[in-house]
Amino acid sequence: MPVPMDLPRAMHKTFVRDKEACASFRKTCPQSLRRLSRLRRISVPAGLLLLLVAGQSVSGQVKMPRLDFHERTLANGLRIVSAENRTSPTVAIQVWYHVGSKDDPAGRSGFAHLFEHMMFKSTRNMKSEMMDRLTEDIGGFDNAFTNDDTTVYYEVVPSNYLETLLWAEADRLSGLNVDAQNFKSERDVVKEEYRQTVLAPPYGRLDYFLQQKSFTAHPYKRPTIGSIEDLNAAALADVQAFHASFYRPDNATLVVVGDFDQQQLDTWIDKYLQPIAKPGSPLPRVTVKEPQRKKEVRFTENGPNVPLPAVGITYLTPPITDADAESLRVAQTILSAGESSRLYHALVYEQQIAQSASATANLLEDVGLFHLNAIAASGRKPEDVEASLLAEVKKMQDAPVSQAELDKAINQIVTSQLLERETNDGKALALGTATVLLGDPNRVNTDLVRLQAVSTADVQRVMKKYFNSENRLVLYYLPEPAKSKPEGR
């Protein structure tokens, strides 16, 4: 059973297995792969986990080609990062808005994500869902996602349609034309998404609670999907206000990767995006600082339809730009990637104390959160699961991991990154993350060096530095009715 806080899942799309290719398989061929892309317009539960590596080599062997890009900033503040890749006649277009669920208006948790859905409704010159038609009907695809820090809209189309998509993105950046009917029906869609992702899965509430409890002051404590009450409170007037506050050229980054000519791209940008005015008002920014944790905090929550107890443990970690970020990613991979990972091997395979166990380094813009999650095996107590999780943490604090384990983790990270770099939209995602969250698009070419520099001593050091009891939050998620009392102090 997957532990829900499994971030790459929401990012790694497995689409475009087209019907022709399926036809010779006897299993029922999915009828509506293309239509499913609308369902994928979902909230990423928390920050963007991108494993940014590039540049030189792994163990002196793997060479990764440089990703050359072109940067431009318009007078209205819009930033453009573009990379020509003429090997295939396709192009990926992404617009990154630097607004996420941490920017939800007061009393409107979930609004940034609800707003993302509204961006597919009518605009000044497009009717509702026209973006889907402009992409899917010519064999491409489109979608969007929202996380704590950003909202990203993306399309992949045959390259001869690039101008059309720039026109369309410019149109929805300049203004929405949403009516009450559209707003209500889309709000219902988001509420249904809440039910499907939070209420229906047996452990949907676990991550919801973990996110809520893990932050005391910072708005990261509001889950991206929001709450039903706040979604109900949202009104049509909020939509226009939110667009005015955050959907402005000086808060957006356009990323274009694929088969185009840079000069031609520049003329289209001049035509469609340059004339959009920059508002005079200042951009609202979250300034709240999350205080350091001083002592261990414990909670117990109960949920309906919980087959077996689950345990979630979180530690606050530094922001995504911190020098320790790579070491934390490596630690996550060693703990959690695959059946030979430490957590799976110890808790699931050897001790059979848990039916699943995972670790996630959720690296965010303001302050990060490292999760350890496990679901107890049948008949096992949450106390035992917690003890086993903490024992694995302690092992990595007491002794360095082996060089073989470190190499395996780096191989896994590099492979997934290379696979992402195969496609234009994967390259665009890497460039967008580097530009918006790391502040420098060239991080796509330098981060492999950082990853390679991670030593077994570094992994041990970050485990000691962040995984201490003062920085720990423990949540037991148990079946109803409550059998155990909260052990909080």
Partner 1 sequence: MNQQDDFRRYAPAPLPSSEIKIPTPYQTVLPNGLTLVVVEDKRLPLVSYRLAFRTGDAHDPPELPGLTDMMAGLLTEGTVSRTSRQIAEEVERMGATLHAGAGSDFTTLSASALAVFGDKILELMADVTLRPSFPENEVELTKQNTKESLKQQRAQPSFLANEMVSRVMFGEHPYSRIVPTPESIDNTTRERLVEFHRSVFVPNNAVFLIVGDVDRAVAEQNVAKLFGDWPRSEAVPDSFPQPPDRTKRVAYVIDRPGSAQSNIVISSKGVNRTNPDYFPLLLMHTVLGATASSRLFMNLREEKGYTYGAYSNLDTRRTAGTIRATAEVRTPVTGDSLKEFFYELDRIGSEPVTEKEISDAKSYLTGVFPIRLETQEGLIDQLVQIKMLGLPDNYLQLYREQVQKVTREEIQEVAQKYVRPDEAAIVIVGDGAQVLEQLERYCSEIEFYNTAGKKKDRPTAVGVVTESDDSSLAGTWSLEIQTPFGQDVAATLTLNQNSEGFSGKVESEMGQGELANVTRDGPQFQATLSFAMEGAAMDATISGSVAGSRMDGTISLKNLPALSFSGHRAE
- Among residue numbers 195 through 214, which ones bind partner 1 (CB under 8 A)? 202
Cα separation, 345 vs 359, in Å, equals: 13
Cα separation, 82 vs 170, in Å, equals: 16
Cα separation, 74 vs 93, in Å, equals: 17
Report the Cα 405 to chain-centroid distance in Å: 26
Residues near 311 by beta carbon (within 8 Å), at least 6 away in sequence: 372, 373, 374, 376, 382, 385, 386, 389, 474, 475, 476, 477
* Sheet strands side by side (includes 151-158): 70-73, 79-84, 252-258, 90-97, 151-158, 141-146
Cα separation, 239 vs 258, in Å, equals: 33
Cα separation, 230 vs 461, in Å, equals: 42
Q: Contacting partner 1 (CB under 8 A), which of 6, 84, 259, 322?
A: 259
Interaction residues for partner 1, span 290-319 (CB under 8 A): 305, 307
- Shortest distance, CB of residue 462 to partner 1, whole angstroms? 21
Q: Contacting partner 1 (CB under 8 A), which of 75, 180, 339, 378?
A: 339
Interaction residues for partner 1, span 168-197 (CB under 8 A): 168, 170-171
82 binds partner 1 per the rule CB under 8 A:
no
- Shortest distance, CB of residue 244 to partner 1, whole angstroms? 19
Question: 266 with 440: CB under 8 angstroms?
Answer: no
- Shortest distance, CB of residue 387 to partner 1, whole angstroms? 24
| Residue-wise DSSP of 214-244 | H-SSSGGGS-TT--HHHHHH--HHHHHHHHH
Please name the amino acid found at residue 256.
V
| Number of chain residues interacting with partner 1 (CB under 8 A) | 78
Interaction residues for partner 1, span 2-61 (CB under 8 A): 16, 18-21, 23-29, 31-32, 34-35, 58, 61
Question: 122 with 98: CB under 8 angstroms?
Answer: no
- Shortest distance, CB of residue 337 to partner 1, whole angstroms? 8
379 binds partner 1 per the rule CB under 8 A:
no
Q: Contacting partner 1 (CB under 8 A), which of 73, 160, 185, 267?
A: 160
Interaction residues for partner 1, span 342-371 (CB under 8 A): none
Cα separation, 174 vs 134, in Å, equals: 18
Nearer to partner 1, 195 or 464 (CB): 195
Nearer to partner 1, 87 or 287 (CB): 87
Name the one residue in this structure whose structure tokens are 């990060």: 368
N residues, the chain: 489
- Shortest distance, CB of residue 24 to partner 1, whole angstroms? 5
- Shortest distance, CB of residue 48 to partner 1, whole angstroms? 21
Interaction residues for partner 1, span 261-280 (CB under 8 A): 271-272, 275
Interaction residues for partner 1, span 404-433 (CB under 8 A): 404, 407-408, 411-416, 418-419, 421-424
- For residue 291, say if its preceding peptide bond is cis, omega within 30 degrees of 0: no
Stretch that binds partner 1, among 113-121, 128-136, 281-289, 444-452 (CB under 8 A): 128-136
Name the one residue in this structure whose structure tokens are 């979604």: 231
Stretch that binds partner 1, among 82-90, 243-251, 451-459, 460-468 (CB under 8 A): 82-90
- Shortest distance, CB of residue 342 to partner 1, whole angstroms? 12
Nearer to partner 1, 108 or 205 (CB): 205
In degrees and rounded to multiples of 5, residue 417 shows phi and psi of -70, -45
In degrees and rounded to multiples of 5, residue 367 shows phi and psi of -155, 135
Stretch that binds partner 1, among 120-128, 218-226, 353-361, 368-376 (CB under 8 A): 120-128
Q: Contacting partner 1 (CB under 8 A), which of 103, 104, 136, 186?
A: 136
Q: Contacting partner 1 (CB under 8 A), which of 84, 122, 167, 191?
A: 167
Nearer to partner 1, 141 or 467 (CB): 141
